[in-house]
Amino acid sequence: MRNIVLRASIAVVFALSGASPGHAQQRQLCVTIDDLPCASCPSGAAETVNDSLLNVLERHRVQACGFVNEGKLIVRNEFDSAGYRALAHWVMRGQELGNHTYGHVSANNRTVPEYEADVLRGEQRTRPLMIAHGKELRYFRHPYLNAGSTPAHRDSLNTMLTGHGYIIAPVTFDNDEYVFAFCYLRAVQEQDSAAIARIGAQYIAYMDSVIRFHETRTHDLLGRDIPQILLLHANLLNAHHLDALLTMLEGRGYRHVSLDEALRDPAYRLPEATTPHGISWIRRWEVAAGRLPPWPPEPPEEIMKAYELGQRNRAPR
């Protein structure tokens, strides 16, 4: 029965898009960047990191969406004006901002009212900032990509978010970039130039493998390209390597589109599975269709070991 539903859903996707399974289309990519104003950044580096990201986005003519955790604007119990200026630069330079909750909390271990309170707390500065520049705060991304672990919970969250005017921003090009970012920041802090160069090269190679994996899964499920949505984070790693990453993607035939353009594709209206884990929407569609797809590539073993050791050695807060 699930396979029949899958075939019917895919038939609708093709009919609405005007595509056929063998129809060649130009690849499209939407870039999204989470945890603004800064994640895995040296102290006081928010403006520098964000300006580097914005410079690269402009150079590649990317209309990106940055997702904000307003809790990051409070540093040692004081308002971080530099972090707020970084957010203002995004809007002033023509980019989009979205809500990523105040405290980067998981929806899966909170009631809908608890989660709603953090969502609303997370728009207190971002929404006025957008309005001041003639824009609307439209997009929301779930931290950890936890969108509700049961259908009932997911549907209640969706109703709540829609009621506040939000559109949920999915992710198809999911990845473990944050693992590299942690190791990269550690190498920078230790002034280990060899590790800095090695981790940067490993990061681009890893992202290439993950992107190829998700392209294959998309074609296996839908038989065509869709506008892919890439998840990255505002960190020192991407401040230094976003240019190389976008160059690699453009070399694979991608042109950049906004989140609004990407979500017009009817693939984003396919049934999606609920899961306690944050996973790509491509995998959610496959699981909802009764498939058991393979897991994406993992970071190199040495990177994972360094990350896990670093996490164990972090001082408790």
Q: Are 228 and 269 contacting, i.e. CB atoms less than 8 angstroms apart?
A: no
Identify which of 220, 255, 249, 216 has the alpha carbon closest to the alpha carbon of residue 232.
249
Element holding 74 (H helix, E strand): strand 74-75
Identify the pLDDT of residue 5: 47
Q: How far is CA 106 from CA 53, 157, 211, 283, in A?
A: 26, 12, 26, 20
**Is 76's pLDDT higher than 80?**
yes
Average pLDDT over every residue of 201-230: 98
With bands split at pLDDT 50, 70 and 90, how would you rate the model's confidence at 14? very low
Percent of the chain with pLDDT over 70: 91
Query: Which pTM value belongs to this model?
Result: 0.91
Give the helix ranges, DSSP H, for 36-150: 46-59, 81-92, 112-121, 126-132
Q: Which of 24-28, 249-253, 313-317 has the lowest mean pLDDT?
A: 313-317
Average pLDDT over every residue of 51-58: 98
**Is 316's pLDDT higher than 70?**
no
With bands split at pLDDT 50, 70 and 90, how would you rate the model's confidence at 7? very low
Percent of the chain with pLDDT over 90: 86
**Is 317's pLDDT higher than 80?**
no
**Is 314's pLDDT higher than 90?**
no
Identify the pLDDT of residue 117: 98
Q: Are 152 and 277 contacting, i.e. CB atoms less than 8 angstroms apart?
A: no
Q: What is the pLDDT of residues 241-298, one digit of tens each?
A: 999 999 999 999 999 999 999 999 999 999 999 988 899 999 999 999 999 999 999 9
Identify the pLDDT of residue 163: 98
**Is 10's pLDDT higher than 90?**
no
Distance CA 96, CA 285 (A): 27
Distance CA 176, CA 104 (A): 17
Q: What is the pLDDT of residues 158-172, one digit of tens each?
A: 999 999 999 999 999
Identify the pLDDT of residue 25: 58
Distance CA 145, CA 134 (A): 29
The single residue listed with the structure tokens 């070991």 is 305
Q: What does pLDDT average to over the chain?
A: 92
**Is 91's pLDDT higher than 60?**
yes
Domain boundaries, the chain: 2-313
Identify the pLDDT of residue 142: 98
Q: What is the pLDDT of residues 110-149, one digit of tens each?
A: 999 999 999 999 999 999 999 999 999 999 999 999 999 8
The number of beta carbons lying within 10 Å of the beta carbon of residue 144 is 13
Q: What is the pLDDT of residues 61-74, one digit of tens each?
A: 999 999 999 999 99
Identify the pLDDT of residue 149: 87
**Is 21's pLDDT higher than 80?**
no
Q: Work out the angle at residue 82's Cα, subtended by the Cα atoms of residues 76 and 86, and round it to the nearest 5 degrees.
A: 125
CATH architecture of 2-313: Alpha-Beta Barrel (3.20)
Phi/psi of residue 304, nearest 5 degrees: -65, -40
Distance CA 89, CA 51 (A): 8
